[in-house]
Each structure stands twice: as structure tokens, then as C-alpha cells.
Amino acid sequence: MIFNSVNKEIRKHRGDDLAFVFSGADMLVANDSVPIISEVNSLLSKNGMDAEGDGIFFGMLDDSACYLFALPSSFEAEGWEVAAGDGLGAYQFVLLRHYVGRLDPVINSAAGYASHLLHWHKHSRYCGRCGAENIWYEKECAKKCPSCGNTQFPKISPAIIIMVMKGDEILLAHNKNFPEGRYSLLAGFIEMGETIEETAKREVREEVGIEIENVEYISSQSWPFPDSLMLGLSAEYKSGDIIPDGTEIVHADWYTPDTFPSIPGHGTIARKIIDEYTKKNKS
Ligand SMILES: [Zn+2]
């Protein structure tokens, strides 16, 4: 299966095309996949929407066109299965960022694109230069101001996530926004003017007060919640004692795989990096 984003090319939908239906940050899934338009038509029409008029065509999953729908804020998830018709009981709205490991990776890419596109669509209604209402720019995934000609593209916010190693231990930290007992790698946004390596050193210094060296790239993950790209890194401990910043990080320590606390779930880049480290460290 292959996902290709298609920028505003005209494509009339069919009933068997895919419906990426969002209610806030929640997306409708059907048996860990995405429903087709004919299946959710009654749900859409019940909410005053028309699949052809209200959907945003954003790409192709093999031969199936992908349409994005945003349910109005008045939509109430409770009891909707009954309203939508027979046989829809297995369908559910899920918080997409908690569901990334459950979806097929290609469907996950398409869903991530849809989620990011929806966020950007909602936040790019007006021109940032003159305030006129933007219109879709047909040649690219962009919006253009009909008044001053300013073109606006979707924003992607790069961030780093880093595994700091010290001998056979790695640094895991508890962020105050995490569930109780959950630990993960340090992470932070890249600031203007910074290289990836500078961000890594600054974030680790700011959050836990230690110095690192030998920063290396491992892999990346799109994290469109709402608009990030995570760059996974590793680094070696250089100097200093752990002093959590107390605002974001409330506790951090060195752990071996045998002593790991609760770590992020499968499907996240943090888990992938930690698992690869564990595999190498145990062999
Ligand atoms: Zn303008």
C-alpha cells in the first residue's frame, strides 16, 4: 500500500473512497482502519454535511481517494453509532496520537497528513500580512491571499528527541505533563538559528543540567499533533550532575534496561529508540 498526497487535483469521490472523519482531535476508525465514505454518509448528513461539498480531497491510498471531514463542534460522540445506522457499532472515535501504533503504517501516514492538514486549514483562514480571507492555492498544498498575493504553506515544527547514554545506562525523565510514573527521553523544539546539535545540547542542559557530546542522528517520525516532525538522536554524557529544571522535568535518572520505569507505548519514536538500545545492549 502506498500513500501519495495530491494537492487539490479535482477528483470526484466514490462511495468506496476513504473518509478520515475528525471530531476535534479524535478520528473515526473502523476495526483499526479507516471507514469508506458510503459507510459514514449518514453520520455526515446527520451533521448537516455533504461528502462531496464538505470533504477535502488530500491524497490517494493506492486507488482509493482520501477525503478529510471535520465534524462541527456541536457533534456529540455519545450515541452517534445508533444515529449513523446499522453495523457501525464497531466504529469508534480515537485520539489519533494515542493510536499511532495500532494503525497500519501507511494508513497512519495518511491519517497524520489529514490531522496536520486539518489543523493548518483551521489556522490559516486569514492572510497573516493583510488580514483578508485566504483561498486554496490550486497548484500546491497552500493558500493564497486574493488581496495581497501572499502565499501560505503548512507549518511543520521540527523537534528533537534524544537518548543520552552513560556507560550502559540511559537518561529517562518524568515530565510534569506525563501520566504518573511515565518516563521518556528528553525532547524539545528547535529554535530559530539553531542547528540540530545545538538544540540537543541546549535542551539537555536546560532540562536536566548536564553536558553532552557526540550527538548522532538515529531516525525521525512525523508527529502531526498538531504539526511536529520529531528527529530522534543519541548522545553521550560528558559532564555534570542531573538537576531537573522543576518546571517541565520533575525527575530524571540513569536507567539500565533491567531497571526501566514505565516507558512510552509502541508506535512512538521514543519507544523505538529505547527498544533498539535495549536490543543492542542485551546482545
Ligand atoms: Zn493578504
In this structure, of 144-153, 230-239, 273-282, the range with the lowest mean pLDDT score is 273-282
* pTM of the predicted structure, to 2 decimals: 0.88
The cell numbers describing 135, all together, are: 483561498
pLDDT at position 101? 81
Provide mean pLDDT across the span 248-265: 96
pLDDT at position 219? 97
Q: Is the pLDDT of residue 276 over 80?
A: yes
Q: How confident is the model at residue 10 (pLDDT cuts 50, 70, 90)?
A: low
Q: Do 254 and 170 form a contact (C-beta atoms < 8 A)?
A: yes
- The tens digit of pLDDT for each residue in 101-160 reads 888 999 999 999 999 999 999 999 999 999 999 999 877 889 999 999 999 999 999 999
How far, in Å, is the centroid of ligand 1 from the Cα of 253?
A: 50
Helix, strand or coil, per DSSP, at residue 25: coil
How far, in Å, is the centroid of ligand 1 from the Cα of 100?
A: 37
The order of strands in the sheet holding 135-137 is 135-137, 142-144, 151-152
C-alpha distance across the termini of the chain, in Å: 34
User: How would you label 35-55 residue by residue, b for 16+ Cβ within 10 Å and e otherwise?
Assistant: bbbebbbebbeebebebeebb
Provide mean pLDDT across the span 41-52: 81
Helix, strand or coil, per DSSP, at residue 137: strand
Helix, strand or coil, per DSSP, at residue 84: helix
How far, in Å, is the centroid of ligand 1 from the Cα of 133?
A: 8
Q: 157-282 architecture in CATH?
A: Alpha-Beta Complex (3.90)
Alpha-carbon dihedral 14, 16, 17, 20, rounded to 10 degrees = 130
**Best mean pLDDT range from 4-8, 87-91, 249-253:** 249-253
How far, in Å, is the centroid of ligand 1 from the Cα of 7?
A: 21
Q: Is the pLDDT of residue 87 over 70?
A: no
Q: Do 231 and 265 form a contact (C-beta atoms < 8 A)?
A: no
Provide mean pLDDT across the span 38-43: 84
How far, in Å, is the centroid of ligand 1 from the Cα of 221?
A: 33
How far, in Å, is the centroid of ligand 1 from the Cα of 136?
A: 13
